[in-house]
Structure 1
Amino acid sequence: MKFRFQRGEDDLLKVILIDDEPIILQGLQKIIDWNALGFEIVATAQDGMEGLENIKKFKPEVALVDIRIPGIDGLTLINKLKEEGVNTRVIILSGYSEFEYAKEAIELGVESYLLKPVDPHLLEQKLEKVKQKIGKEIELQKIIKTTQEIGLEKVIEKLLLGTLDNREIDYVNSFYGLLLPWKKYQVAIVKFCEKDSQKIIEEKIFQLKKEVDLFLKRNCCGYLTIINHDICILFKDFWYPFNSKSINMLKESLVRMVGNQVVISIGSEVDDYTLIKESFNEAIRLLEKRFLFGYRGIVYIGECLEDKRCDKVEFDDKEYAEKLAMAIVLNGFDSINKIVEEKSEHFLHANLSEDDIKIGFSNFYIETLYRLSHNELYKPIIEKYLNKDILKSFYIQSTLTELKALIKFYFLSLADEIDKMNPDNLKQKISEFIEKNYFADIRLETISDAFGYNSSYFSKLFKKVFGENFTIYLDRIRVEKAKAFLKEGYKVSETCKKVGFDDVDYFCKKFKKYVGISPREFKEKQKN
């Protein structure tokens, strides 16, 4: 395949022919179709001095020079061109008897040599190679000129977009001292999300850019550029989540400057600069999903659930609203948290838009409060949690994480208020539960789970309601039951098992602690 070289629409590479024999000069002009090959003969010469003057005058890309010409010979002409820095490529023409001269010419840096009589096919091959070489050098000069003109930020943009070829990358790497290849590459996009006037947006972006640039220089961890009003970072051997602490600190400093309108979207880390574009494209896609996967202003590809979307999650709003209402009445932290998380998972797998999710969560919130409002006692509180400000707050949350955290907060606050209204009801339910199950292996974790509470929270709640901790209360109930069994004539060992103790000695110790005497003494006392 021939190299297609273009400097302009009709530009041809200039050629000068130098030979002392007119017939050879005429033959060279006709032996091939120069124009079809992309060349134009601009002059001929029959001696070395005339040839040198023509080369200086016309500045041809190529000169065909006979090695034995009058005036100055071919070798001397080549030397003079080198001394004066003339960049014309020379193809030497020589006879068999001049082969030693040809070898010397090659050492001087000529492109090639041809033996007389010249083979047309071979001449075309030599010219094609020269044309390819010239084309590559011109393209490299364009790269050099463009790189020097556009600056480092534009180079980084081209790396992110994947528009630099290997030769261009080699040059910019050397020119800017990028020290490629790196061990790791990762792209992050800092987006300012506030909808404001163009002037204010540009001012804010300029402030953010200065802060990001300072961060990158301080940590020697990459470069930045601006694409479509977004600050795009190419991290060097510095990646999330490995360097999450530092990147979170950067995010916090940006938030202090412009508020919570900043989000950082982070693509996956890659280990080859040819894959930088993939990390960049991932960061762009995540920007569109920042509501779903953002957490405290950072959106990361590793936290995306796209590969799990195929599993459809069923979620009956009315059924779950009923469960949630019950959990609120029982003040069950774990149950409330679990149901809200399941609702959130449903939204993720359903692949809904941000607006649809906010509407869906608002409707679920209202449906739950509606279930609670069936109890006349709760109506005054429910109305307080149905005000416009609360419902409006759902729609201004920037991420799903923040939205569900807010909804959990309202549900838990509501649960606490309802609990304060009716503590005796809860006390009765717990007492009845223990009364029916005192003989079983019930522990704090067992009963807290039965009522939908976190065990730590339930422990504090139990002491608040009953005035003593769970273990003491359970031991006291068991001892009271044991006294009844002993009165009925059961043996100490039988009574021990009937009230839920496995170890007789331990049972006797507990019994004496609460009654003041041992079970055997108690039994004897009952006989007397």
Structure 2
Amino acid sequence: MLKVMLIDDEPLIREGLRSIIDWQYYGYQVVGTANNGRVGLEKIKELRPDVVFVDIRMPGLSGIEMVKQVKEKGYSCKFVVLSGYSNFTYAQESIRLGVESYLLKPVDEDELVSLIQDLHEKCTEENLLYSQLDQYETMTENEAWKIYLEERRKKHYVLDQYTNTMFQIASVTFVEPIEKRWLESNVATEHLFKYVWSNQVLYLLFTGTDIAAMKRQLQSISRLLTSKQHQFQLLEEDIPFEQLPEKINELKQLQKLYFVYGNETMITNKQQRIERQILPDDWITNVCRVIEFDEQDKLHTYLEELEHYYQKNHYQRERVVTELVELTKDIYLALSKNHQEVSVPSVEQMTDMLLNSHTLQELLVSVEQQLRQTSSELNGFACNPENTIEKIIEFVEQFYYKDLNLKVIAELFNYNRSYLGKKFKKQTGDYFHHYLDKVRMEKAQYFLIEKKMKVYEVSEKVGYANNDYFYKKFKKYAGVSPKEFQKQNRIEHV
């Protein structure tokens, strides 16, 4: 209910204004009247009305003079000037003083109703604004920090004292909702200046320390939180006060990587400044081979490669799950071409399994268990006369680094050694040991050029325990030594 005052030296005008309309119906209460400007000024000080109707010409202190003094004293009431004269000079003076309206006597009821409805709406909006401003002025420092960091509003004056301060910032996120008071009791540590909550994320502001010491403090906190699956995100830099809201956004980007880095208790912005990667074109083919030939340790290596691929590309949960469903489906489709007993899981089956994982690592464990089960049910060495050599070639392409020879291959594929040797030569044009050397040399060239590996590393990588023997084999195949080959191709790539 807004408070209204009526000031006029004519009693009939005052009472007429009081009774002409139902003030309460329109959201007003008439709190007082006055018969001249001086009395009116005192009552305005006492009653603090929202709206004042005042006669422009009264004996003693005129309405214009009274309005001037009220304005000078800083009272916020709104004025409506009344006059029995249609005098433009008075109207100009009223407008200059900032009055809300100028009404002629006798007051028209419809005009008055329209005016007070407009004033009521205006006063309500302003009162709300003043209330918000009052709340802002009395805001605690913690609330000011939250608004400054999260809502990016102009900083509150209570934070002016930190303008020249350098900060270090981190955040901590959890898989499951966390009890805030419990967490607060466990994060207290040296140099922790302030913590600010945003939903289930806790932002930590440090001062007076360096990044190395801050990491140690976060690790100490982490040990206290071992019962809760969590992760710290950290910016490895000193941050001026003015840049804090911008840097909070960088922390939010790190928080989005929680799923793919679920095995890490702390990730930093420097760790993420890495080149994006692509998954090798033959990844699915290689995975199928290790499944067929029951090389489960190798399967784990390929899934680690997939984990690093998702991490390096900063993929978020939704994309990872979608892609992994498709990848797994493609693996089973490829396996089913050679193994009729393999059934391709439905998208629904795959999605149900994957969505129950909180982190990429949990998800990959589920996938690996599924593929290991499939691997144990398959016999990659089973073949028929039509596809024997094709199977052997696939095996050599995958396991060229092992201690292989025709005898080993014949035993694996349950063939007579002599017969298999002739069959292999007839179908490929190469003796088995020549073909194996060729595959190893091609792999060696790849490791020397693309991976920039040292010669002795390549020798071991492609299955030669003796470096000198590898050297002779490579020079015979490529025409130059491994070192010279690497040097030549490095120049060509420049």
TM-score in terms of structure 1 length: 0.51
Measured in 2, the distance between the counterparts of 1:354 and 1:434 equals 46
Does residue 472 of structure 1 match 2:472?
yes
Q: Which amino acid aligns with 1:27?
A: G
Superposed counterparts of 1:245-324, under 5 Å: 254-255=218-219, 257-259=221-223, 262-264=230-232, 290-294=258-262, 296=264, 297-298=266-267, 320-323=290-293
- Cα deviation, residue 121, structure 1: 3.4
- 2:32 pairs with 29, 40, 43, which one? 43
Q: For the Cα contact (< 8 Å) 1:212–1:250, is it kept in 2?
A: no
Q: Which amino acid aligns with 2:7?
A: I
- Flag structure 2 segments of 5+ consecutive residues without an equivalent: 163-168, 235-244, 274-282, 311-319, 326-350, 382-397, 410-429, 481-494
- Cα deviation, residue 94, structure 1: 1.8
- Cα deviation, residue 66, structure 1: 0.5
Measured in 2, the distance between the counterparts of 1:20 and 1:373 equals 110
Measured in 2, the distance between the counterparts of 1:159 and 1:173 equals 8
TM-score in terms of structure 2 length: 0.54
- Cα deviation, residue 34, structure 1: 1.8
- Judged with a 3 Å threshold, the aligned counterparts in structure 2 of structure 1 residues 156 and 36 are, in CA distance, closer, same or farther, namely farther
- Judged with a 3 Å threshold, the aligned counterparts in structure 2 of structure 1 residues 13 and 198 are, in CA distance, closer, same or farther, namely closer
* Equivalenced residues, count: 361
- Judged with a 3 Å threshold, the aligned counterparts in structure 2 of structure 1 residues 326 and 371 are, in CA distance, closer, same or farther, namely farther
Measured in 1, the distance between the counterparts of 2:369 and 2:431 equals 36
Percentage of pairs with the same residue: 25
Q: Which amino acid aligns with 2:26?
A: L
Superposed counterparts of 1:110-509, under 5 Å: 110-157=99-146, 169=153, 176=159, 189-191=171-173, 201-207=183-189, 211=192, 213=194, 225-227=196-198, 230-232=201-203, 254-255=218-219, 257-259=221-223, 262-264=230-232, 290-294=258-262, 296=264, 297-298=266-267, 320-323=290-293, 325=295, 328=298, 337-338=301-302, 340-341=304-305, 349-350=324-325, 352=354, 353-354=356-357, 357=363, 360-361=366-367, 363=369, 367=373, 435-436=434-435, 442-443=441-442, 445=444, 457-460=457-460, 465-475=465-475
Q: Which has the higher helix share?
A: 1
SS at match of 2:3: strand
- Judged with a 3 Å threshold, the aligned counterparts in structure 2 of structure 1 residues 94 and 196 are, in CA distance, closer, same or farther, namely closer
- Cα deviation, residue 65, structure 1: 0.5
User: What do residues 28-61 of structure 1 show as CA deviations (whole Å, max 9, x unaligned)?
Assistant: 2233332222111122233233333433332221
The aligned counterpart of 1:76 is 65
The aligned counterpart of 2:88 is 99
Q: Which amino acid aligns with 1:363?
A: Q
Comparing 55-64 with 124-133, which one deviates more in the overlay? 124-133
- Judged with a 3 Å threshold, the aligned counterparts in structure 2 of structure 1 residues 230 and 501 are, in CA distance, closer, same or farther, namely closer
User: What do residues 467-497 of structure 1 show as CA deviations (whole Å, max 9, x unaligned)?
Assistant: 515342344x67xxxxxxxxxxxxxxxxxxx
Measured in 2, the distance between the counterparts of 1:151 and 1:138 equals 22
The aligned counterpart of 1:306 is none
- Judged with a 3 Å threshold, the aligned counterparts in structure 2 of structure 1 residues 150 and 250 are, in CA distance, closer, same or farther, namely same
- Cα deviation, residue 357, structure 1: 2.6
SS at match of 1:207: coil
- Judged with a 3 Å threshold, the aligned counterparts in structure 2 of structure 1 residues 193 and 202 are, in CA distance, closer, same or farther, namely farther
- Judged with a 3 Å threshold, the aligned counterparts in structure 2 of structure 1 residues 191 and 473 are, in CA distance, closer, same or farther, namely same
Measured in 1, the distance between the counterparts of 2:158 and 2:125 equals 18
- Cα deviation, residue 80, structure 1: 3.3
- Cα deviation, residue 362, structure 1: 6.0
- Flag structure 1 segments of 5+ consecutive residues without an equivalent: 1-11, 180-186, 214-223, 235-245, 267-275, 304-312, 329-334, 376-414, 479-499, 503-528
Larger radius of gyration: 1
Q: For the Cα contact (< 8 Å) 1:324–1:368, is it kept in 2?
A: no
User: What do residues 409-453 of structure 1 show as CA deviations (whole Å, max 9, x unaligned)?
Assistant: xxxxxx99xx9xx85869999x9755347799954536979xxxx
- Cα deviation, residue 74, structure 1: 1.0
Q: For the Cα contact (< 8 Å) 1:188–1:232, is it kept in 2?
A: yes
Cα RMSD for the two superposed structures: 5.7
